[in-house]
Amino acid sequence: MPPAQPNPTQPKGTPPSPHLRRRRLGLELRRLRETARLTGDQVIEQIGWASASKLSRLENGRSRPDPRDVRDLLELYGVTGPLRDELEAITREAGDVRSWLRSYRAMTPRQRSFAELEAGCADIREYSPFVVPGLLQTREYARTRIVSFRPLGNHTADAGSDVDDPETEVEARMSRQLLLTREVAPPRYSAVLEESALSRRAGPPEVVRAQLNQLCKLATLPNVTLQVLTRDARVANWYMPHTGFSLYRFADPQDPETLAIEGHSTNQVLNDRDELDRYTVVFEWLQSAAMTPEDTLSWLAEMAGRGYGDPGRPAPSRGPVTPPTQRRRTERLTGQ
């Protein structure tokens, strides 16, 4: 890993995500252990830790790192110089939860998990089959979505949350959206939305119309690409995703790419390379089968102009398009 360098793409005032730093630190510690040809049991024995789970939690980014523990590991692995300095700095950032929570204290746990992934992102790709993604929602649409979960129990959408005021959650979601229009290095954002996510009755007519108009505006941003996957679209291999997902690539190339698979009340967050490759292929399939960004903008404008409740203009039926780079990746994964 090269020495730490100032990151010009990190927006001023945005604290580094402890979640992301823990994952990066864990990957580096595992790499260093494997380079030293040591097993987990050998490390535990030589350092004198009581439990093997302690090392496992550190390497998997599941625990807040103790600087003394990291120093012991770096000493054992023979790490010195700029690399040691950087890993110790990452350790401090991984443990600095308080400054992060001060910036995002109004967020529920689920929104905070999204915000942690979005911080420092250079590229975000999302597939949303049921609702408009949070980064694209209007205030009224977000409020409708948040309030809709209340009859199912306290914060079904955000299990374990101590945020009781829906307006606080709405404001937190609006604050997350600022990254798309920030002046310094806004991330590239690409989304594939199912037609049903936009045409179903997801709120009062005026709320849905305003949301469609908002999507039209966002689709004109140079860093935003929106595509609608119509009901009659044919995805490669007749593939049908089971749920929504997001792919995150970060401004710092040393930070691990991340996949978040959406669940009803929680998200599954993965860094596994095979899973990332599979979902990248799936996203490319969805993009290829969806309307072009230009046709999507026209479709959204027509939907908003027709008024809420009218059926959307059907897109022409198309077969899947398989770009050469995607085809090579698909052959590698499927063995074809």
The residue with tokens 């996510």 is 197
First to last CA, the chain: 35
What tokens were used for 168? 């606080």
- Rounded-to-integer distance, Cα 230 and Cα 111, Å: 28
Q: How many residues does the chain have?
A: 336
**Beta-sheet pairing, 267-270 with 258-262:** antiparallel
Which pLDDT value is given to residue 100? Answer: 53
Which pLDDT value is given to residue 247? Answer: 97
Residues 244-289: tens digit of each pLDDT: 999 999 877 778 899 999 876 677 888 899 999 999 999 999 999 9
One-letter amino acid of 181: T
Is 289 in contact with 234 (CB distance < 8 Å)? Answer: yes
> Can you give the residue ranges of every domain in the chain?
18-100, 121-334
**Beta-sheet pairing, 121-128 with 188-194:** parallel
Which pLDDT value is given to residue 15? Answer: 53
Which pLDDT value is given to residue 63? Answer: 83
Q: Which residues are paired to 194 by β-bridges?
A: 229
Which pLDDT value is given to residue 235? Answer: 95
* Beta-carbon-side half-sphere exposure of residue 222 (alpha carbons within 13 Å): 4
Q: Which residues are paired to 227 by β-bridges?
A: 192
Is 331 in contact with 307 (CB distance < 8 Å)? Answer: no
Per-residue pLDDT of the chain (336 residues; tens, 9 = 90+): 443 443 433 444 455 667 778 888 998 999 999 999 999 999 999 999 988 889 998 998 878 899 999 999 999 999 999 999 999 988 988 876 555 555 566 677 777 778 878 877 899 999 999 999 999 999 999 999 888 876 555 444 444 445 567 888 888 889 889 989 988 889 999 999 999 999 888 888 899 999 999 999 999 999 999 999 999 999 999 998 889 999 999 877 778 899 999 876 677 888 899 999 999 999 999 999 999 999 999 999 999 987 654 444 443 334 344 443 444 444 444 444
Q: Which residues are paired to 193 by β-bridges?
A: 128, 228
Q: Which residues of 305-326 are buried (b: 16+ CB within 10 A; e: fewer)?
A: eeebeeebeebeeeebeeeeeb
DSSP 39: -
Edge-first strand listing for the sheet containing 121-128? 224-229, 188-194, 121-128, 245-250, 258-262, 267-270
CA 230 → CA 28, 134, 145, 255, distances in Å? Answer: 43, 21, 23, 35
- Rounded-to-integer distance, Cα 128 and Cα 194, Å: 6
Which pLDDT value is given to residue 102? Answer: 57
CATH class entry, domain 18-100: mainly alpha
Question: What residue ranges in 69-152 does DSSP mark as E strands?
Answer: 121-128
Average pLDDT of the chain, as a whole number:
81
Which pLDDT value is given to residue 159? Answer: 43
CATH of 121-334, one of 2.60.40, 3.30.1490, 3.10.400, 3.30.870: 3.30.870
Question: What residue ranges in the chain does DSSP mark as E strands?
Answer: 121-128, 188-194, 224-229, 245-250, 258-262, 267-270
Which pLDDT value is given to residue 4? Answer: 40
